[in-house]
Structure 1
Amino acid sequence: MKKSTNYFFALALFIAVACNPPTQENEIISQDSGVLDRSILPIQEPLYPAINELDARNVTAPKRFQVNAPENAPNVVVVLIDDIGFGHSSAFGGPIHMPTLEKLAANGLKYNRFHTTALCSPTRTAILTGYNHHSNNAGAIMEVATAFPGNTGIRPQTITPVAEVLRLNGYSTAAFGKYHETPPWEGSVSGPYDRWPSHSGFDKFYGFIGGETNQWHPMVYDGTTRVYPNVKDENYHFTNDMTDQAIAWMNTQQSLTPDKPFYVYFATGATHAPHHAPKEYIEKYKGKFSQGWDKVREETLARQKALGVVPENTVLAPKPEAIKDWDKLTADEKKLFEKQMEVFAGFAEHTDSQVGRLVEALEERGELENTIFFYVVGDNGSSAEGGMIGMFNENTYFNGVQETLDMQMKVIDKLGSEHAYNHFAAGWAVAGNTPFTWTKQVASNFGGTRNGMVLHWPAGIKSKGEVRSQFHHVVDVAPTIYEAVGVPAPKIVNGIAQRPIEGVSMSYSFDNATAEDTRKTQYFEMIGNRAIYHEGWFAGTIHKAPWEGQPRRPLQEDIWELYNVDEDFSQANNLAEQNPEKLEELKKKFMEEALKYNVLPIDDRSIERFDPVIAGRPDLMNGRTKLVLYEGAKGIPENAFINVKNTSLSITAEVDVPANANGVIICQGGDFGGWSFYMQDGKLTYFYNWVGLEKYSVTSKQKVEAGKHTIKLDFAYDGGRGGGGTATISVNGNVIGEGKITRTNSNTFGIDESADVGTDENTPVNPAYADKEKFTGKIKSVTIETKPGAK
């Protein structure tokens, strides 16, 4: 019915415009006066009457139609840091020095009651559009999308991103860094590209489209084209790279069109795992965290009070019971955890330094004064996904493998380097979210959803160095931008009626610290953790902690908490027993909001939703058990590749090889988990890298002679999830090698790794063939056939 209504509405609009075309005179007058109807996009160009003069010298040409931004419209910059807590940065009382954030805050405003969704994709889609995450069909990250409205991973046509609105209103637009709004089944060269950044309003995109990337070896796209930065440069780091790209784009844009405003979305992969930082930044924090996370929480709260970013009566909310007291840890635990936090702190400060370079570039161009600059310090609370002891290789988490303390102590000196894919222990996440209890994923506590935000706009905000405590949410960024620019949220885009925008502008608070909140209500929900804020009260339920494998209880049996957050900043005083009537009122309010924004039904599954069959979302392979690949096929994301996990399979390659051939025939993954079928000095090897922890190799007994051959790898799977199997190598039907693979990856080979034919991009599955991964022969085809259920 909804589709039909939109169709007939669009048809009626078309007929009305066709029958009553705008006159040349009216359109030109509107253009000259700057009065355009910007609520309908794109703005229609005028229809000029036919000219009956033969000689062009005898007539004046009509004025060229061009949509310009409103006069004196500011540039817009949105900086979004990943996985950093309310209590991490020095500007909000934390132990990590972030001078750029402090500088902007000193000349701008700090918002201390600003909220996110508790997870990355949902927060990003909300900040990029001005609509709630379920309205955008992004109830969780794109990789766990389902078939239900609110969770499909497909942004509806009734919602248009800010970038497209500004672009159609005369802005240049660009995005750099992490996107994470593209459905994973649309992440290959087969597209469609509708939900890539460059088809979502951004003229320029340079970054990665998944949830995380290796900062030393990133999976980078320029527009929709995979590019390969010079990662062999000893100074290479992706945050530096994306900053170089952003500054170069801005300098070029300002050189060519200095009067044209721009919108830059600068979303770092930092400080999401893997925690990768230049050594000199890590060393700055040597010994700075020996006091442990409990003391850091106390020190942070004291500084927060001194800075005025929390009320003086704020108390430290209790840690989750699962987090050990620092003084009860062993010497090795303290040593490991201290190092983990040094790495993270260095990572965060380095990130802020790169934002500083962007700010300096704006200053040099004379553009900072009239740039409305949002510095959002976290897309959610700090991440506890490292579990109780952290991880040397985050890929272990996604494959359900528990690392041990001894294992990590052996490689402690590699943390933060290209040889690690590390994440810190959950205790540091809790400390980073001071003064709150919980962390990322927990949408039912401010530890998961409250992030610091600094707003800087000297030309538009008179107040300097002040704190704003109005209750706001990331959906409020878009309407604030629209009001600052002087354009409305559109009513119609490309003939499609738009939903009324769900955010509210924050501009009323710019020069009025005591202004009454305009956001009265906000729901929160993530993987069953859910809550409602309404007029100073907050009710929520902890359904599942990030380190817990299963929900604590069925959704219907969840235990709700109640807080008066106007008086209890840190949610330390649960009033559920004292005020059951208010709690029931808020629980009812949550259901009203849930119905309004497509929150229901709630899906509390997590890791299992990475399987598209279980989740019920589209899959590019669509159940195929056979895939034929050709030479040059590379950079194929895992979600666009045939699933070779937990199954028997065969790989058949038609090749023409020289004597003593070298290089990869086909591979998937990288040095933190993956497999490769390659040749070295004429011998064939099937190599399996089990989550970076164990490596298995099956090599042929003799060399493959020069010439054309059919090379085959058969893998007979033992069964179960993550089980082993027997690998058999044959050439032209003759077996020349056989061996055992003890364990295999059960869930993933890496979020930022790929499958490649004839080479091994990103990090090598087997570091032994690094720099010799390109196949020296000719590959006609490689056929992979899986045999689900076979043993």
Structure 2
Amino acid sequence: MKKIFITLFSACLAFTGFGQTKGRPNIVVILADDLGYSDLGSYGSEIATPNLDRLAKEGVRFQQFYNNSICAPTRASLITGQYQHKAGVGYFSNDLGLPAYQGYINTESLTFAEVLKANGYVTLTSGKWHVSGKDQSYPWQRGFDKVFPKNDGANSGAPGFGKVETDAEGYPLSEYYSTNVINAHAEQFLDEIKDQKKPFFLYLAHTAPHWPLIALPEDIAKYRGRYDKGWFTLRQERFERQKQLGILNQDAVLSTRDQDLYDWDRLSYDQRQLWAKKMEVFAAMVDRLDQSIGSLLDKLKQNGQLENTVIVFLSDNGAPAEDLVKWHNGAQRNTGPVGTTGSSESQSKNWSYASNTPFKAYKDYLHEGGINTPFIAWFPTKIKANTIVRGTGHIIDIAPTLYELAQAKYPKNYQGVKSNELPGKSLVPVLTSKADAVERPEGLFWERAGNRAARIGKWKLVSTWPSYNWELYDLENDPTETKDVSRQNHAVVSQLSQAYFKWAKENGVVDFAELEDREPKSMKDFRRSKEQELAPPAFGF
């Protein structure tokens, strides 16, 4: 019997009762995996996402919401409210032999489940975890009362790069799609605690739409022929729709076109059909993800839990650059067509270029396409409907936001260990229309496998490994990073670079040149595969 590893992209938080002593809000956090900035209808997509679009129409959307550009480091920051290095996951879910790079959450960094449970919440999680290691820091060890999947290996995230082995409780996965299975367990948990008097916190971590591209036939059928137009046309259509929606300003421009993408018009008819099929399956995965959120909303309403619940949705990083035909023995692993359980295919840079509209770059990089993804928050009695704000939020802000909403005290010491202080800001003023963006004079900072970035105000500084050269962008006037103005603004480069190195020292960041020899071969191949020219689409379908 084949196991199905399905990848989902959805991230939602549900909380209730802003600032009320009685009736503290329930909290549901839904996280998607590898979802690009423009992959939802409310962010410009043609994919059917009516449930998320409803949350957006009845809630608030951020134009700028940042992550750590790749899976495990993003999850470490989301779960703890710490920068990933401070939490111990500075590289990935691999132990590189240093405290900031041990590959799993350390005890000094409290999880949102630990804090909320200590403050009277029932804590639930279903789906991908990816921040455990050495038999430590599993979700049931870090504050969660109910966990799926709960076994010793399948959910650590170590092998598989983003897959969740959802047969941990004996499911015949040839009959079940894991998006449905993950969601079903979340709904089961909601049923089990519906009569309790305590508020609940649900962390729902889907794996969709992360590769391999596998979807249900009835979902794929909805998109047959939809992508015969190719990635360049799709990107332009999404861009125009984003301006119509107000996600982008009318004077916005698309980022510079990648030179290593295939020219759709020069592909043969057969090649176009094979590539279009990939995007049809990807769209089906996003569609099914949205369907699962609709089912979750129905369950909350049925149980009488929806009225006092806040919902927040986000993604762990931008759409990916990895090409499975070239990396991770992808082509050799195909035992069936794309979309089926034998598929080991990814959408690759070509379609991810459209998913990340209007931004440049991809997952693992620190330009906007890698770190800026959708963020939706919903709570009709407190959040003004159909609001679009600048936001400039970051995943380190989620924990302090939840703690304010839950009136939860963050302990200075926990189980005999001094807790790391929270560096993020509460998003409540932005969610409640008291502010358009988070005030953050100290700035935001990133480091991922040698890629570095800093943002203070409108200025963003970026460098891409192995280069140490800084690029500077004025995101207020150039949100898609089309003009490097570093040569015209030496003082700004100096200011931001000094702030970056101060942050790096405080968080245990090490120059990546010192870590390259410790990097696992599979991850080194992953980085290098993205830098190579894409292989011709000759097989794997």
Kept in 1, the 8 Å contact 2:231–2:354? The answer is: yes
Structure 1 residue 602 corresponds to structure 2 residue 512: yes
* Contiguous gaps of at least 5 residues in structure 2: 1-19, 525-538
- Give the one of 16, 36, 58 matched to 1:107: 58
Mark the CA change 1:513 to 1:285 in structure 2 (over 3 Å): closer, same or farther.
farther
Return closer, same or farther for 1:267/1:134 CA change in 2, 3 Å cut-off: same
Amino acid at match of 1:490: P
Q: Distance in 1 between matches of 2:35 and 2:395?
A: 15
Normalising to structure 2: TM-score of the pair? 0.87
The secondary structure found in structure 2 opposite 1:423 is: coil
- What secondary structure, in the 3-state scheme, does the structure 2 residue paired with 1:355 have? helix
Match status 1:243 vs 2:183 = yes
Structure 1 residue 518: Cα displacement: 1.9
3-state SS in 2 of match to 1:263: strand
- Corresponding residue of 1:374: 312
In 2, distance between residues paired with 1:174 and 1:455?
Answer: 19
* Cα gap change, 1:211 to 1:276, in 2 (>3 Å): farther
Q: Which amino acid aligns with 2:240?
A: A
Percentage identity across paired residues of the two chains: 28
Would the aligned equivalents of 2:67 and 2:395 in 1 still touch at CA under 8 Å? yes
Could you give the per-residue CA deviations for residues 476-529 of structure 1, whole angstroms, max 9, x where no partner exists? Answer: 011000000111322121232212111110001123265453234111111111
Count of residues paired in the alignment: 500
Distance 1:151 1:435 in 2: 32
Secondary structure (helix, strand or coil) at the match of 1:397 reads coil
Q: Which has the larger radius of gyration?
A: 1
Amino acid corresponding to residue 452 of structure 2 in structure 1 = R
**In the alignment, what sits opposite 2:165?**
219
Alignment check: 8 A CA contact 1:108 1:455 kept:
yes
Deviation at 1:321, TM superposition (A): 2.2
Partner of 2:486: 576
Contact 2:87 2:108 survives alignment (8 Å)? no
Specify the code of the residue in structure 2 equivalent to 1:467: I
Once the two structures are TM-superposed, the CA of residue 429 in structure 1 deviates from its matched residue by: 0.9
Q: Which residue of 2 aligns with 1:167?
A: 117
Code of the residue aligned with 1:344 in structure 2: it is F
User: How far off its partner does 1:349 sit?
Assistant: 0.6
Counterpart of 1:206 in structure 2 is: 148
Per-residue deviation, residues 176-228 of structure 1 (Å, max 9, x unmatched) = 01110112xx3xxxxx3x411111111111135144999xx96237xxxx422
What SS does the corresponding residue of 1:340 show, helix, strand or coil? helix
Q: 1:398 aligned to 2:328? A: yes
Q: What is the letter of the counterpart of residue 359 of structure 2?
A: F
User: Shift of residue 137 of structure 1?
Assistant: 1.1
Moved more, 595-604 or 474-483: 595-604
8 Å CA contact 2:106, 2:137 repeated in 1:
no
Query: Residue 493 of structure 1 is aligned with which of 414, 420, 431?
Result: 414
> What is the alpha-carbon distance in structure 2 between the residues aligned to residue 501 and residue 460 of structure 1?
25
1:665-712: CA deviations, max 9, x gaps? xxxxxxxxxxxxxxxxxxxxxxxxxxx99xxxxxxxxxxxxxxxxxxx
Q: Could you tell me how far apart the structure 1 residues matched to 2:84 and 2:258 are? A: 27
SS in 2 for 1:135: helix
1:265 equivalent to 2:207? Answer no
Q: How does 1:61-72 map to 2 (within 5 A)?
A: 71-72=22-23
1:520-539 map, 5 Å: 520=441, 521-539=443-461
Q: CA deviation at 1:279?
A: 0.6
TM-score by length of 1: 0.60
**Residue 361 of structure 2 is aligned to residue 423 of structure 1:** no
One-letter amino acid matched to 1:270: A
Secondary structure of the 1:173 match is strand
1:601 shift after superposition? 3.0
**Conserved 8 A contact 2:155-2:164:** no
Partner of 2:83: 132
On the 8 A contact 2:243/2:250 being kept in 1, the answer is yes
Structure with bigger RCO (C-alpha 8 Å, 6+ apart): 2
Q: In structure 2, the residue corresponding to 1:382 is in which secondary structure?
A: coil
For residues 271 and 495 of structure 1, what CA distance do their matches in structure 2 show? 40
> How far is 1:247 from its partner?
0.7
Judge conservation of contact 1:213–1:269 (CA < 8 Å) in 2: no
Return the alpha-carbon distance in structure 2 between the equivalents of residues 448 and 516 of structure 1: 21
User: Residues 529, 103 of structure 1: CA spacing in aligned structure 2 closer, same or farther, 3 A cutoff?
Assistant: same
Which among 471, 479, 502 is matched to residue 561 of structure 1? 471
**1:451 to 2:373 alignment:** yes
Equivalent AA in structure 1 for residue 63 of structure 2: N
SS at match of 1:80: strand
8 Å contact from structure 2 (residues 389, 436) kept in 1? no
Within-5 A mapping of 1:90-489: 90-142=41-93, 144-183=94-133, 186=134, 192=135, 194-207=136-149, 208-211=154-157, 219-220=165-166, 226-233=168-175, 236-255=176-195, 257=196, 259-376=197-314, 378-386=315-323, 391=325, 397-399=327-329, 403=331, 414-442=337-365, 444-461=366-383, 463-489=384-410
Q: Residues 611 and 424 (structure 1 numbering): CA distance in 2 closer, same or farther, change over 3 Å? A: closer
Question: Aligned-pair RMSD on alpha carbons?
Answer: 2.6
Alpha-carbon distance, 1:581 to partner: 2.6
